[in-house]
Amino acid sequence: MLLTVAALGVGLLLFLIIKIRLQPFVALLIVSIAVGLGSGLSVTQLFGTVQKSNTVPLLEAGMGGTLGHVAVIIGLGTMLGSVLEASGGAQALAGRLLTLFGERRAPLAMGVTGVLFGIPVFFDVGIFVLAPVVYATARRGGGSILRYALPMLAGLSMTHAFLPPHPGPVAAAGLLHVDLGWVALMGTLTGIPAVLAAWAYAAWIARRVSVGVPSEELETPPAPEQPVPLPVLLTVIGTPLVLILLSTFSSVTLPPGRARTLLEFVGHPFVALTIALFLAYWLLGVRRGWSRASLEALSTASLKPVGNILLVVGAGGIFGAVLKAGGVAQAVADVCDTAGLPVVVLAWLLSAALRVAQGSATVAIVTTAGIVAPVLEAAHPTQAHAALVIVAISAGSVFASHVNDGGFWMVAKYFGIPERETLVSWTVLESVLSVAGFGVAGVVSLMV
């Protein structure tokens, strides 16, 4: 019965999002309540009572427990990305890499630009900022615009799916209680081979599908008067990742003491991202003539688009809490254990299926994390193994981007690619990235 409730809940979620066109946050909230009642939970357990009690209602506990960790990281990461975007960091980074690699290796330079700039910047923002650079590079180098756009898109997509502080891996880490340092390490370990596979496909398909550079000019973000030095950019981008990784390894390699305590403090994601944000404020803002008021206005404006992401992630936390309390998730865990299905495989299959069905990577991640959480908990995995499960979930969430995904139309619009060519280039590129990342995660999971 509980497995039937789980299946009906996922079916209802897809129906509400795809057919009814309900906002995913509302759809997840409705499904969580329906699954809770269907699995035998009482109204009091879900919502609480008018009189105060010591028991926190599941809806409040699920939302608060998830967002208490995730919201701070996503907020700080979003502000950091906005400063890098506004400072002209993308143009400076692309220019230096093009000079370094040369015109013959311009596609590789665009791919590396996508990876480095994509670490702190959202996928859609990265397209907006880097698309004019792709246009200019394609006009100089000649050939299909796919030759230059696809490597850059693969880099942006890999970092957005596999690495913190992006919402997907951060949300999964919060829902599955995994240290972000391990997520960053395993995301890098699996993401690099995955993006190399995607670049190989990009080079292959660009020779077979010719798409000219659109004649119309894109709106180019205003360039700063002084180019941003590459070492400054790399310092701001790399600081939070380095600090988080140092904290993770110090807890394993160092004995208790002041050095370990200091590294764990500065490497906590809240502190590491705050340090990186203030570095960006100083190096990319104040030293280049920005006023404190302009930095405050930029930071405030950058937070407006993340409200929807946070609500969906919070609703995913509610869904996971209801699945666990109602015994639905444990029933799924028992079946997977009996069938001998590895949790890494289950995570990728569920995430990929949800992604293809309804288009939203965030919904795919938070729904899958809620279902696999008890399966993972029952297996008592190491943090490294749990991080690989998160990689599998994130990899599945980018599988086969097609017409129900906003990213599909963004790629087609910004680079002037017809729908058919977008399907054979972008959709397959995302599938290669997804399968390669999952494959590496599966192999590594056998060793840790």
Per residue of the chain (448 residues), give pLDDT as tens: 888 888 898 899 999 998 898 999 999 999 999 999 999 999 988 988 756 656 778 899 889 888 987 999 999 999 999 998 888 887 888 888 888 898 889 999 999 999 999 999 999 989 988 998 899 899 888 889 999 999 999 999 999 999 999 999 999 999 999 999 999 999 999 999 999 999 999 999 999 999 988 876 666 555 556 678 888 989 999 999 999 999 998 987 888 899 899 999 999 999 999 999 999 999 999 988 889 999 999 999 999 888 889 999 999 889 988 988 888 777 877 777 777 788 999 999 999 999 999 888 989 999 999 889 888 887 889 999 999 999 999 999 999 999 889 899 999 988 999 999 999 999 999 999 999 999 999 999 998 8
How many whole angstroms separate alpha carbon 443 and alpha carbon 295?
45
Are 340 and 391 in contact by the 8 Å Cβ rule? The answer is no
- Assigned token pair, 429: 């590129």
How many whole angstroms separate alpha carbon 301 and alpha carbon 293?
12
Nearest one of 358, 271, 298 to 18, comparing CA atoms: 358
Are 106 and 95 in contact by the 8 Å Cβ rule? The answer is no
Nearest one of 374, 356, 376, 365 to 312, comparing CA atoms: 365
Strand spans (E) along 70-206: none
How many whole angstroms separate alpha carbon 90 and alpha carbon 87?
8
Q: What is the DSSP letter of 50?
A: S
Q: How many helices (H) and strands (E) does the chain have?
A: 22, 0
Are 156 and 126 in contact by the 8 Å Cβ rule? The answer is yes
How many whole angstroms separate alpha carbon 30 and alpha carbon 15?
12
Helix residue spans in 326-405 (DSSP H): 328-339, 343-358, 361-379, 383-396
Question: What's the pTM?
Answer: 0.90
